[in-house]
Amino acid sequence: MLIAANWKLHKTPRESEEFCDKLLSLNWPTELSVALFPSALCSGAVSSVLSRATKAKLQWGPQQVSTEVQGAFTGENSARVAAAMGATFCLIGHSERRTLFHESDLDVRRKVAVALEQSLRPLLCVGETLTERTENRTTQRLTEQLQAALKDLDSTDKLVVAYEPVWAIGTGLVASEAQVGEAHQTIRRQLSALGFPKSVPILYGGSVKAESAGGLARTAEVGGFLVGGASLAVESFYAIIQASASALGLQR
Ligand code: PGA
């Protein structure tokens, strides 16, 4: 199981370092992988703390990368640079990127390919809006997003998918276990149809807290969490790690 923190545009380098130091002083079962997604300007601080830690314990990645690897692209982040700094993951296609920064399905597809070429594991986010859900178009939307991002891509177990219903992100509304179970089955079926192995983890994201993590961790096809708001304080993030570990019966 993978538990990931999406810090969005929060934290200074100093706050990022303090978070990493505190989290590294805590323990969790080796079956749980933990990853941090700091803002681009805090990547150096995170990478330098984590380079002194056991690599497997805590990994990190950028919240987005350019479709380009290098060149005249002012203001962009390069997957190549992130990999050189020790990143192992890369968030791609988060709904905030898609809606606020107009990332198209084509951009998302190119970013997944660039991340893989640069040896980063793409953590591809998909999810329906409230309108799409109320109009019974969740399956259709998830299928479209997965096909647009992954069709004709060589199969790989490096991929991670996050199901993030847009209506649950930052709203305090958590999708129910039944809704998550159904969406994750849809994603799993679509990944299989596209040739991706069963080992590709499917995370859930959207207002996850320790109180909801236990039940969701036991839901079929839930391979972890992508956590926004509750990942900003070590205490609430670690509580999610602990709740997941105890729901799965893992020992420290
Ligand atoms: P949230 O954010 O946990 O604050 O809903 C999740 C995300 O945007 O990845």
pLDDT in tens, 215-247: 999 999 999 999 999 999 999 999 999 999 999
Q: Is the CB of 228 under 6 A from ligand 1?
A: yes
Given 132, 164, 184, 221, which residue is catalytic?
Answer: 164
pLDDT tens profile 148-190: 999 989 999 999 999 999 999 999 998 999 999 999 999 999 9
More confident residue, 55 or 169: 169
- Among protein residues, the one with the nearest Cα to ligand 1's atom 2 is 228
108 pLDDT exceeds 70?
yes
Q: For this structure, is 164 an active site residue? A: yes
Q: What is the pTM of this model?
A: 0.96
Residue 56 has pLDDT above 80, yes or no: no
Mean pLDDT, rounded, for 132-148: 97
Distance CA 114, CA 55 (A): 23
Distance from C-alpha of 131 to C-alpha of 198, rounded to nearest angstrom: 30
Give the Cα separation of 11 and 171 in Å (integer).
20
Catalytic site residue from 94, 96, 128, 221: 94
Name the residue with the closest Cα to ligand 1, atom 7: 228
Q: Is the CB of 206 under 6 A from ligand 1?
A: yes
Residues 82, 119 contacting (CB under 8 angstroms): no
In degrees, to the nearest 5, what angle opens at C-alpha 157 toward C-alphas 152 and 162?
85
226 lines ligand 1 (CB under 6 A): yes
Q: Which pLDDT does position 52 carry in this prediction?
A: 84
Distance 71 CA to ligand 1 centre (A): 32
Q: How far apart are CA 50 and CA 252, in angstroms?
A: 21
Are 168 and 207 within 8 A, CB to CB?
Answer: yes
Among residues 23, 110, 40, the alpha carbon closest in space to that of 75 is found at 40
CA distance 41 to 11: 10
Ligand 1 closest atom vs CA 171 = 5
- What is the share, in percent, of the chain residues with pLDDT greater than 90? 94
- Pairing mode, strands 160-163 and 121-126: parallel
Delineate the domains of the chain, giving CATH numbers in brackets. 6-247 (3.20.20.70)
Tell the residue number behind the tokens 């079962």, with chain if given.
Answer: 29
| Ligand 1 centroid from CA 72, angstroms | 32
**Which amino acid is located at 147 in the chain?**
Q
Residue 208 Cβ contacting ligand 1 at under 6 Å? yes
Residue 205 CA: which ligand 1 atom is closest? 6
10 is catalytic: no
Answer whether 120's CB lies under 8 Å from 68's CB.
no
Are residues 137 and 128 in contact, defined by beta-carbon separation less than 8 angstroms? yes
